[in-house]
């Protein structure tokens, strides 16, 4: 069975067109008209990718992303946006979406962008395949089967990119350079900005670290990053 994609789109003509294109490429597609339906589906079923635009507005999209993190932390997200949306919601897109495709778009290009996301996911899964299914580091526990992360038994709401970054760091016994992290996590994509690794390290630290205690992620001067006192 192909990867599961949920398409959230109110334009029925565009939705039908995208559904046919995606299904012809071998994906399992489910079309929904609003974000609430998507959240209910995500709570009960594993979804590989959410494909939607940002017409709901900034506050509604922020609420959607945050709730989705809680019900399905490992979901991959892509945003279809107009150039105006990219400017107005740039921080939101950078934080939560793995890719932003700007309308109007060409179907073959969009399909290749989606395929690149899944190639990157497969690369991460293969790279970390030697890790135990349940991996621990200090007070962190990672369930590699269900793509869930806990600290002291409490679930942490990580985006898919943050999850990939954490697992990649935990799988390495030595420090990884920014270039190595770009290669492993953003392998098939062209991230915007040379500081994207530092940005996501900051995002990840804000979720896994405990205030007043040493960060789980150590900055190795002149090299990059590693888990502090990592034990696999």
Share of the chain above pLDDT 70, in %: 89
Tokens of 174: 């030595």
Place of tokens 């597609």: 29
Taking only the tens place, the pLDDT of each residue in 153-174 is 888 888 888 888 999 999 888 9
pLDDT tens sequence across 59-97? 888 888 888 877 776 677 788 887 777 777 777 887 788
Question: Exposed/middle/buried for 215, CB within 10 Å: 0-12, 13-18, 19+?
Answer: middle
Q: Are 9 and 53 in contact (CB under 8 A)?
A: yes
Locus of tokens 């107009």: 82
For 113-142, what is each residue's pLDDT tens digit? 888 888 877 767 766 666 667 788 888 998
Contact 125, 131 (CB under 8 A): no
Listed range (26-40, 145-159, 180-194) with the worst mean pLDDT: 180-194
Q: Which helix (H) or strand (E) holds 140?
A: strand 140-143
Give the chain's domains with CATH numbers. 4-121 (3.40.50.2300), 128-227 (1.10.10.10)
Helix (H) / strand (E) element for 122: namely: helix 107-127
Handedness of CA 21, 147, 77, 52 (dihedral sign): positive
Return the higher-pLDDT residue of 191 and 103.
103
Q: Nearest-CA neighbor of 77 among 113, 127, 128?
A: 113
Higher pLDDT, 70 or 213: 213
Place of tokens 């790279």: 127
| Sign of the CA dihedral running 211, 213, 217, 219 | positive
Task: Enter the pTM of the model.
Answer: 0.67
Quote the pLDDT of residue 209.
Answer: 94
What's residue 232's pLDDT?
39
Average pLDDT, the chain: 83
CB atoms within 10 A of CB 59: 8
Q: How far apart are CA 183 and CA 2, in angstroms?
A: 25
């Amino acid at each position: 069975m192909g990867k599961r994609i949920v398409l959230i789109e109110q334009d029925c003509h565009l939705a039908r067109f995208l559904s046919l294109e995606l299904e012809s490429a071998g994906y399992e597609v489910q079309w929904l008209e609003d974000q609430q339906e998507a959240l209910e589906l995500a709570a009960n079923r594993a979804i590989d990718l959410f494909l939607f635009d940002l017409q709901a507005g900034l506050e509604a999209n922020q609420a959607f992303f945050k709730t989705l993190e809680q019900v399905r932390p490992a979901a991959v997200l892509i945003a279809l946006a107009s150039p105006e949306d990219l400017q107005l919601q740039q921080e939101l897109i950078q934080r939560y979406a793995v890719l932003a495709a700007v309308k109007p778009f060409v179907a073959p290009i969009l399909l290749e962008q989606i395929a690149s996301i899944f190639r990157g996911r497969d690369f991460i899964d293969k790279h970390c395949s030697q890790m135990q299914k349940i991996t621990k580091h200090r007070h962190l526990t990672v369930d590699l089967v269900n793509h869930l992360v806990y600290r002291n038994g409490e679930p942490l709401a990580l985006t898919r990119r943050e999850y990939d970054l954490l697992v990649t760091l935990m799988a390495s016994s030595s420090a990884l350079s920014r270039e190595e992290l770009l290669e492993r996590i953003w392998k098939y994509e062209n991230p915007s900005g040379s500081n994207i690794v530092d940005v996501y390290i900051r995002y990840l630290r804000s979720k896994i670290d405990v205030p007043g205690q040493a960060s789980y992620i150590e900055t190795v001067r002149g090299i990059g990053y590693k888990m502090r006192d990592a034990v696999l």
